Structure 1
């Protein structure tokens, strides 16, 4: 079975590729390396350095004829989505629509990486898949719009699919320069003996899920005959203050955070219910936060 991983040199995508290789699948990676890195590429995967909006992307489908496609390529910077809405929409919406058309033409199953950002401010916790969708950012809109196209294509053209909405993913290879990876941002500072910066009192909560668990969820989504939308999460809330404590404990440091003014628009509490993924995909997280954090710390130190 041949599998195409779009964004396979990125943080999450490269872990998906590693997991696929371990299971013996034939892998093709497409990545323009705008945020992905060549160092993350598995040597056992064929690689094309290409933007999904490029015309040449169509010929890759013609040549490789994949059976399934993992779509992990995206514009993920929330601030950039606000500053350049057109670019955000081109990459996340039009790029996904292009992939969807090719999946329709070549009869490929599509596994689409979405985000908890589609939910906006939670009405209740933990958030399940029936929760109202009300994005607070352009990024959230550009991740949800493809979901609607995918569902429509499934109804109209019988395109097979699974949509995975991720909570806060962390782990090795995460870019500490971005805005979304609070674990890597804090860790980079604290390894260098610098205090982390918390916006607000630190009692806001997030649901942290280790990247290898996310990769396993992707594999389960491909192997199971189960169309639908699934939250991929730990199903547990952690305060940002507790996150600092956990990193201090792992690094054996005692760095006190610097608190700054709460940022308007930030969600106070976030936690995703993952029971549907457990029941339908046969997936659940294997790594506790302490286990995942230790593996992340070890990778940073290397």
Structure 2
């Protein structure tokens, strides 16, 4: 940043839930984001108008990627790209349109890395997922780290496992610093698609509106993270000096839905949130995030109470 011009970062998927928060974090950190991806009806970045640029395109289009890199001339790349179907969550989108999920999450991911390499970009940070792990019972009830084997049982999980392999391949072949962060379940303002996170978000919406709600969910602890912590982790990795591993678990905090409801009721005693316990369709293991913390010093800002306080005072849009 010494020449007075903010360094340019191309953000693939910058209009999505996580991507839009990454764009905000980059702007606040002194970068100039260039968004790359399809046009979207919702504008979660209207208040940042003039502080970023945008190129409409797809990671499936080699020529479009090359043109975007030639125009933007980024110093680094962040990718939050994942195939989605309307407002379906990423897991359900993968099952609904498996071919498209592979085309975007694996092949498109590889094209993006190739285009970055051809443009002379040396660092790429991208969002993988903890769904690369298998069911919790495969790991004996312990925290899993990056050395534990991937064993996905969903199409989305498989695409992310393959995307990790593609990223590691290009890192070895071209000497690129390609770092994937395995995201847990993400909550925060701007969550618009349906899935496990939206079911949890519904209890905050009900509490804010003062209306009763019944939340059907399992009662096991899961890994959760505030979306602004995800964005900050990405910015931390992007600016880190020195070598990093190809992939890291990203840890926020652990909580069960009953614990979340109790935290909401402590702050809103009049909240009427009923919990209906259901068996989990798929329960993922809890993760160990110490490796990223040791490598970069990153630590999530939000714990359970902090997330609850923020989401009770925040509307659905950022």
The two structures have a TM-score, normalised by structure 1, of: 0.90
Match of 1:82 among 89, 95, 99: 95
CA distance in 1, matches of 2:145, 2:198: 23
CA distance in 2, matches of 1:249, 1:177: 27
1:104 corresponding residue in structure 2: 117
1:38 corresponding residue in structure 2: 43
| Residue 231 (1) aligns with residue 249 (2) | yes
Q: For structure 1, which segment, 67-76 or 236-245, has the greater mean C-alpha deviation from structure 2 after superposition?
A: 236-245
| Residue 73 (1) aligns with residue 81 (2) | yes
Preserved contact between residue 258 and residue 275 of structure 2 (Cα < 8 Å): no
Q: Could you tell me how far 1:180 is from its partner in structure 2?
A: 3.8
Q: Could you tell me how far 1:149 is from its partner in structure 2?
A: 0.8
SS in structure 2 of the partner of residue 272 of structure 1:
coil
Q: Could you tell me how far 1:33 is from its partner in structure 2?
A: 4.2
2:12 corresponding residue in structure 1: 6
| Residue 119 (1) aligns with residue 119 (2) | no
Task: Give the gaps of 5 or more residues in structure 1.
Answer: none
Deviations 1:34-92 (A, max 9, x none): 5x832335321112233322442331111111111000021252122112210111111
2:70 corresponding residue in structure 1: 62
1:92 corresponding residue in structure 2: 105
Deviations 1:135-160 (A, max 9, x none): 12000001111110111111111122
2:3 corresponding residue in structure 1: none
Deviations 1:100-150 (A, max 9, x none): 111221122110100010012130422211111101200000111111011
Q: Could you tell me how far 1:198 is from its partner in structure 2?
A: 1.7
Preserved contact between residue 190 and residue 316 of structure 2 (Cα < 8 Å): no
Aligned-pair Cα RMSD in Å: 2.2
Q: Could you tell me how far 1:218 is from its partner in structure 2?
A: 0.3
CA distance in 2, matches of 1:243, 1:270: 19
SS in structure 2 of the partner of residue 247 of structure 1:
helix
The two structures have a TM-score, normalised by structure 2, of: 0.85
2:303 corresponding residue in structure 1: 288
CA distance in 1, matches of 2:230, 2:31: 18
Q: For structure 1, which segment, 57-66 or 189-198, has the greater mean C-alpha deviation from structure 2 after superposition?
A: 189-198
1:218 corresponding residue in structure 2: 234
Q: For structure 1, which segment, 273-282 or 24-33, has the greater mean C-alpha deviation from structure 2 after superposition?
A: 24-33
Preserved contact between residue 237 and residue 270 of structure 1 (Cα < 8 Å): no
Q: For structure 1, which segment, 283-292 or 145-154, has the greater mean C-alpha deviation from structure 2 after superposition?
A: 283-292
Preserved contact between residue 101 and residue 159 of structure 2 (Cα < 8 Å): yes
Residues 176 and 101 from structure 1, CA distance in 2 versus in 1: closer, same or farther, beyond 3 angstroms? closer
| Residue 259 (1) aligns with residue 276 (2) | yes
CA distance in 2, matches of 1:171, 1:27: 21
Q: Could you tell me how far 1:284 is from its partner in structure 2?
A: 0.7
Deviations 1:247-301 (A, max 9, x none): 333444332425264253x21x542211111110110112222122222222218
